[in-house]
Amino acid sequence: MDIKLQNLTKRFPGRRRGGSGEVTAVSDLSLQIQDGTLVGLLGPSGCGKTTTLNMICGLEKPTSGRIFFGEEDVTDLPPEVRGVGMVFQNYALYPHLTVLQNILFPLENLKGAARPSREEMRRRAGEAAALVQIESLRDRRPRELSGGQQQRVAIARALVKMPRVLLLDEPLSNLDARLRLQTREEICKIQKKTGITTIFVTHDQEEAMSISDCIAVMKEGVLMQQGHPQRVYDDPSNLFVARFLGTPPINVFEAEIRGQVLYLLGQPVMGAPGVPDQPVWVGVRPEGFTPKEDGPVTCDLDRVEALGRDVSIVCTHPACAAGTVRAIVSSAREINTDCSKMRFGLQPDKVFLFHRDSGARIPFCPVS
């Protein structure tokens, strides 16, 4: 099922009289989601991800804008006829029902011709349970399950109605690190197997990057960028997106363009043909640094961390906004830890320029 969000806006009325203190949770969001894909909705806490999901499933009514499932305008439809399955952040499993009863619950709500026979219900519940591998837990109650198991039950309950769209709100945030890794693979696998268009919300960029076919990055209710994870990483449209994606995060320096040359603390770094003179932010991915005897960027070496396959070089640079600079280089390379200074060259495709005020990307073809 293709999903199209058209200029979605959601404003919550302010607590105070007269509507002051109104909150705009989602602002003019337009997004196209292809049938059968897994989309990661990504952004910091409070940026409107849950609100967006609630509007898609029908729990919240948009202030303005339209939502389409395929050709069908579902904006004014109540949730139960939209054909969505939702997994809530805290799972919202009914504590007094067993696992099986929880999974059966949505089916038992069906009325008339849509209502399957008792055996059919049990068969479908069994199928859903098998899909998430919880058949052996069917007679337990939610409080007798671990976080990961509860998560699977919640997914089974959302899938049992065979929804057109599956929505997951921070499905991994309540799990420990190891389980998170395993569960995200499983969500990806289940999605591929069922082919259901899936939107999953997360504030963890690594999670979103690793399993999504497409990510959408939001900030304060506004969609910043959308696309294939690698494309967005390699071609961020603004400083926020560049900063939000990637671990370790991108290194940002205060810099200046003078006479079509990029200067870092008065030191020419690389040519920037066609870019007018102005103060800029320059972002360099950690893997964009190459240790080089006569490189243009000189840092004070702090320490070197071995990560196994790679080595992380931590140093400081006076123009760096965050204070510390992190460079990742392959561990095959010899690093002289005795010197206090470290000189780097920059890989042009890992360097991005942004407007100093707006943070918008400044396109340029670097010349070393």
Partner 1 sequence: MNMDNSKKAWLYLLPSLILLGAFLLYPLLDVFVYSLEEGFNFASQTYLGVGGYNYLYVLHDPYFLQALKNTFILVLITVPVSTCLALLISVALSSVGALRQLYQTIYFLPYVTNTLAVGLVFMVLFQKTEYTDGMVNLLIQWFGGEGVDFINGPYWAKMFVLCFYTVWVVMPFKILVLTSALASVNQDYYRAARVDGTSRLRTFTRITLPMIAPMLVYLVITGFIGAFKAYSDAVALFGTDLNAAGMNTIVGYVYDMLYGDSGGYPSYASAAAMVLFVIVLTITCINLLVSRRQFRG
Q: Which parts of this chain interact with Mg ion (CB under 5 A)?
A: 50
Query: Among partner 1, Mg ion, ligand ADP, none, what does residue 298 contact (CB within 5–8 Å per kind)?
Result: none
Residue among 33 and 42 whose Cβ is closer to ligand ADP: 42
Q: At closest approach, how far in Å is the CB of 332 from ligand ADP?
A: 41
State which of positions 64-93 bind partner 1 (CB under 8 A). Answer: 78-81, 84-86, 88-90, 92
Residue whose C-alpha is closest to residue 48's, from 219, 240, 226: 219
DSSP calls for 282-313 = EEE-GGGEEE-TT-SEEEEEEEEEE-SSEEEE
State which of positions 5-64 bind partner 1 (CB under 8 A). Answer: 57-59
Q: At closest approach, how far in Å is the CB of 60 from ligand ADP?
A: 8
Q: What is the dihedral of CA 334, 282, 325, 289, to 10 degrees?
A: -10
Residue among 161 and 317 whose Cβ is closer to partner 1: 161
Q: At closest approach, how far in Å is the CB of 173 from ligand ADP?
A: 10
- 132 phi and psi, to 5 degrees? -100, 10
Q: At closest approach, how far in Å is the CB of 93 from partner 1?
A: 8
Per CB under 8 A, the list member of 14, 21, 30, 110 interacting with partner 1 is: 110
DSSP calls for 3-44 = EEEEEEEEEEPPSSGGGTT-EEEEEEEEEEE-TT-EEEEE-S
Per CB under 8 A, the list member of 40, 62, 65, 106 interacting with partner 1 is: 106
**Looking at beta carbons, which residue is closest to Mg ion?**
50
Coil, strand or helix at 265: coil
Residue the block writes with tokens 């992380």: 312
Q: Does 116 bind partner 1 (CB under 8 A)?
A: no
Buried b (16+ CB within 10 A) or exposed e, 317-334: bebbeeeebbbbbeeeee
Binding site for ligand ADP (CB under 6 A): 12, 23, 25, 43, 45-51
Residue among 56 and 132 whose Cβ is closer to ligand ADP: 56
Q: At closest approach, how far in Å is the CB of 100 from ligand ADP?
A: 31
Which residues contact residue 122 at a Cβ distance below 8 angstroms, ignoring those fewer than 6 apart? 104
Coil, strand or helix at 170: coil
Q: Which residues bind partner 1 (CB under 8 A)?
A: 57-59, 78-81, 84-86, 88-90, 92, 94, 96, 105-106, 109-110, 157, 161
